[in-house]
Structure 1
Amino acid sequence: MQDFLTGLAFFLIIEGLVYALAPRFLIEMAKLLPSVSEGRLRAFGLAATALGVASVWFLRG
């Protein structure tokens, strides 16, 4: 449970930094999202998830 909460804390730190350091970039990305196909967003999300799982597996193994 401690690892999960640590991961959640890091997520919040990274999200907070994006909003604090690059708000204009975030707004521009939000404007572009409707023009990206659902399939492309899904593929990117799955690839990011796979990269994250592989990274954790590599670093913890």
Structure 2
Amino acid sequence: MSDIEYDEKVKTKSRKKLKPPQSYKVLLHNDNYTTMEFVVFILETVFSKSLSEATRIMLHVHK
């Protein structure tokens, strides 16, 4: 057998700990172009609001 010595070193990368995303604010603006139905649809699909809650929010902004 040969007399070979191995110098084994393990390199590790330190990883940054991920934090949950910060909260955000969404501003709704009443305009003359976006339909009320579309606003309700977006509130339901993107923001997981129920139909009644999405409608309530849309009507509040529409005033």
TM-score, normalised to structure 1's length? 0.29
Point out the structure with the larger helix share: 1
Max radius of gyration: which structure?
2
| Structure of higher RCO (CA pairs closer than 8 Å, 6+ residues apart) | 2
